Structure 1
Amino acid sequence: MSDLQIGLIVVGALLILMVLGFNWWQDRRVRRKMQAHFPTNEHDPLLGAGDPPAVRGGDAPREDAARDAPAAARREPGLGKREPSVGESGARAAPAPAGESDDAEEADPATEVVIEVAFAEPVRGADLQSGLQGLRSAGRKPIRIFGVTDRGRHRARLHADESYSALQVAVLLANRTGPLTAIEWSQAWARVQDLAERFEATIEGPDQQAVLEQAARLDDTCAALDTQVGLTLLLGSAQPAAEVLAVARDMGFMHDGPRLAWMSDEGQPRFTLTRGDGAAFDAGMGGVERLNLLLDVPCSPPDEHAFGRMVDVGHQLAQRLRAELVDDQGKPLADGSAAVIDERLQVLFSQLEQAGLRAGSERALRVFA
């Protein structure tokens, strides 16, 4: 082999090493920027002990972990039931320098698993918006998208006129459909991989088995605290839906999708009113024979008289509609039962607070949906 050939081989090897070194340096720079603008709260007890191992690059989740975590069977918990002592709210936004501010809303590491996406070059928001259309949910678990702009600003919503150097894809770990499954996690990972291939990015996320275990723990905690209390109004003969709706609205109920809601002073539903047949109040001209009042405890703001307030409104509504108010077992309400149930609900509100799932909070609304 001539000296020229040896020299060319050496020069080629040096060029390859330089390219690899540059790519490593660029990847590390982007990740430092992501860490600076995607802070996590290490003191949230819902997070558990330690961070799960990461899966790097474009590799799929480990095959030996591709199984569903044993999902805890959901049960109807009694009022005042004990739960694991865990709690406090999610991560806080990092302070931003004057001039440009970060969005306050962030991924919640206690209830969401995050896949990080780092672009080789900044990508226009308009291009990303079209590429993220398929990342709304994984199975029955919602997905939220957060971004870091090329100017280092944290965004909870992507804007078409900005460019982004990194994204966070936050997948909900559990809700009332149960814990995140292996299929749902794999589906989310595959969609992020497709995004990374389209926009030349690297991805990083936790090991699948660690994700499934965290999801199962969160689901167990939520299942132990998930309580709903209901009342029923028996109207006797069918009454026109339009008249029932008019009476309810006149009393103060407001539309909340297909149901009606009794709102708190802060504009949150305290309890809801639905037709017994499940139809919307404005659906057709059919008659109504039964109405359901429901206090969804984790999704309602804490209230010393949560159940008693619903009972009072139920009695007024029953009087206006010439109906009979009974409990969810079809039995008349016993004297003093409202006060007893309200005492038990105070224990449950406190347990939700201690578990980091304050009733009516954004976090509680996500996992109890």
Structure 2
Amino acid sequence: MKDLHLYSLIGAGAIVAAVYAFNWWQEYRYRKRTQQAFARNQPDVLMDAPRNMVRSGERFEPALDADDDLPTRLELPADEAPVRVEARPDVRAESRAAVPAPVIPPQQDDGDALAESLLDANVDFIAEVHARDVIAARAVPRIAAPKRVQVIGLTTDGHWDVVNSASSADYTALRLGLQLADRQGPLSAEQLNAFCMAVQQFADEHEAVATFAQRSGKLAAAGELDEFCASVDVLIGLNLVSAGRPFQLEKVRVLAEQSGLSRTSEGWVYKSDSGKTLFTLANQDQSPLGPTSTALTLLFDVPRVAGGLAVFDYLSDFAQQLAGSLDASLVDDNGRALTAASLDNIRRQLGQLYAKMDDRGIAPGSVAALRLFA
């Protein structure tokens, strides 16, 4: 009898261990595949914004005195260190007293997660359309709007799918999102009303039911979101100015390539492993490159870059190396010298700015950041 009881406990423990291992493997597989999907080096309209495009239309001029405050339009908290909190999975220990039945968790299609991630209630006004029967992908109109419009659909087999010109599925429900803000400003009442009218007309034509988020609340949220984005929308320019003879760009090319930059039609670009632009090097006047140049500019679009402090450190080292090799002056847009102390001060201010973005839940370089700062 004792042996039977012992074997039962061993068997139950093995079942618990098997269920836990299976759950862990499923979570790891899903997380890995999702990360790979987002990291693919593909053309991305979010990355194609004009490189000098910021809400203010001006680049950030750092305070050279380490004790100076940031420009008031940035509204950064003083002396606040950036803190990042990594979310960890909530793993709960199985009860030893009770052995649960081995339940195989439902598999979530990676495509569902990717499709649903394209809409965010904090960034989009979302309308829903519930079909009386089904709606073919080819029947979903392309709604013209000055802000990003994204449509996802619930297929007849219960999966969320991105609806575009290549779609061929039938949908029982649709979610249509209109972005609340971008670098052109917040969503206006007229723009929102036009979007809602287009969605309602489409629903009526298909005898479907359309539901909308509360409009006045979303318009207020759009204005507040745009104000926040304006407060962190920073483009840093570090300028290399010739002290006498123009730079030989062949020498610049060698130095740039040695530091990991690649040549483009407009200049050089430093990219992440997934192909995202981290900073650029080009003529200060944005003219096409020739054999020589009298002034070059390194540009760093702050909210669109993940791991920004490390990137800025690399940018600063590269800028100082270039300045030394080319016998150039490293200056800001007003011609003031950028010393090691002033670069350290810019870094401190960037830490405050990134902390502000993290507190808002908009990580630099994230999908939400790329959408808002485009």
- Measured against the shorter chain, the TM-score band is 0.5 to 0.7
Tell me the alpha carbon deviations over residues 38-82 of structure 1, each in whole angstroms, 9 at most, x when there is no partner.
Answer: xxxxxxxxxxxxxxxxxxxxxxxxxxxxxxxxxx99997647713
Q: Distance in 2 between matches of 1:101 and 1:300?
A: 25
Q: Are residues 1:202 and 2:209 paired?
A: yes
Q: Distance in 1 between matches of 2:219 and 2:134?
A: 32
Q: Distance in 2 between matches of 1:272 and 1:324?
A: 18
What is the CA RMSD across the aligned residues, in angstroms?
3.5
Q: Are residues 1:163 and 2:170 paired?
A: yes
Q: Are residues 1:332 and 2:340 paired?
A: no
Match of 2:237, SS? Answer: strand
Q: Are residues 1:120 and 2:132 paired?
A: yes
Match of 2:112, SS? Answer: coil
For the 8 Å contact 1:115–1:204, the answer to whether it is kept is yes
For the 8 Å contact 1:148–1:154, the answer to whether it is kept is yes
Tell me the alpha carbon deviations over residues 3-41 of structure 1, each in whole angstroms, 9 at most, x when there is no partner.
Answer: xxxxxxxxxxxxxxxxxxxxxxxxxxxxxxxxxxxxxxx
Q: Distance in 2 between matches of 1:317 and 1:200?
A: 65
Closer, same or farther in 2 for the Cα pair 1:299/1:149, shift >3 Å? same
State the match for 2:280 in structure 1.
272
Closer, same or farther in 2 for the Cα pair 1:100/1:314, shift >3 Å? closer
1:322-361 mapped onto 2 (5 Å cutoff) = 323-361=328-366
Q: Distance in 2 between matches of 1:122 and 1:237?
A: 70
State the match for 1:82 in structure 2.
77
State the match for 1:363 in structure 2.
368
Tell me the alpha carbon deviations over residues 294-340 of structure 1, each in whole angstroms, 9 at most, x when there is no partner.
Answer: 22221112344443321221233345555432122211212422222
Q: Are residues 1:97 and 2:97 paired?
A: no
Q: If the length of structure 1 is used for normalisation, what is the TM-score?
A: 0.64
1:151 aligned to 157, 173, 179, which one?
157
Q: Distance in 2 between matches of 1:100 and 1:298?
A: 31
Q: Which amino acid aligns with 2:113?
A: A
State the match for 1:228 in structure 2.
235
Q: Distance in 1 between matches of 2:260 and 2:109?
A: 42
Q: Distance in 2 between matches of 1:367 and 1:306?
A: 21
For the 8 Å contact 2:77–2:352, the answer to whether it is kept is no
Q: Distance in 2 between matches of 1:219 and 1:347?
A: 19
Closer, same or farther in 2 for the Cα pair 1:209/1:292, shift >3 Å? same
For the 8 Å contact 2:302–2:308, the answer to whether it is kept is no
Q: Which amino acid aligns with 2:329?
A: E
State the match for 1:309 in structure 2.
314
Q: If the length of structure 2 is used for normalisation, what is the TM-score?
A: 0.63
Match of 1:103, SS? Answer: helix
Closer, same or farther in 2 for the Cα pair 1:297/1:80, shift >3 Å? farther
* Shift, 1:215, TM fit: 0.4
For the 8 Å contact 1:271–1:296, the answer to whether it is kept is yes
* Shift, 1:100, TM fit: 5.4
Q: Which amino acid aligns with 2:120?
A: D
Q: Name the stretch that deviates more: 103-112 or 189-198.
A: 189-198
Q: Are residues 1:292 and 2:297 paired?
A: yes
- Unmatched 5+ stretches in structure 1: 1-71, 90-95
Q: Distance in 2 between matches of 1:254 and 1:224?
A: 31
Q: Distance in 2 between matches of 1:228 and 1:344?
A: 13
1:15-164 mapped onto 2 (5 Å cutoff) = 78=71, 81-82=76-77, 97-98=106-107, 102-105=111-114, 106=116, 107-128=119-140, 131-132=141-142, 134-135=143-144, 138-139=145-146, 141-158=147-164, 160-164=167-171
State the match for 1:187 in structure 2.
194
Q: Name the stretch that deviates more: 312-321 or 324-333.
A: 312-321
Q: Distance in 2 between matches of 1:264 and 1:164?
A: 37
Closer, same or farther in 2 for the Cα pair 1:99/1:252, shift >3 Å? closer
State the match for 1:60 in structure 2.
none
Q: Which amino acid aligns with 1:81?
A: L
* Shift, 1:273, TM fit: 2.3
For the 8 Å contact 1:233–1:325, the answer to whether it is kept is yes
Closer, same or farther in 2 for the Cα pair 1:207/1:118, shift >3 Å? same
Aligned length: 280
- Unmatched 5+ stretches in structure 2: 1-54, 61-69, 79-83, 87-104
Closer, same or farther in 2 for the Cα pair 1:171/1:331, shift >3 Å? same
Match of 2:362, SS? Answer: coil
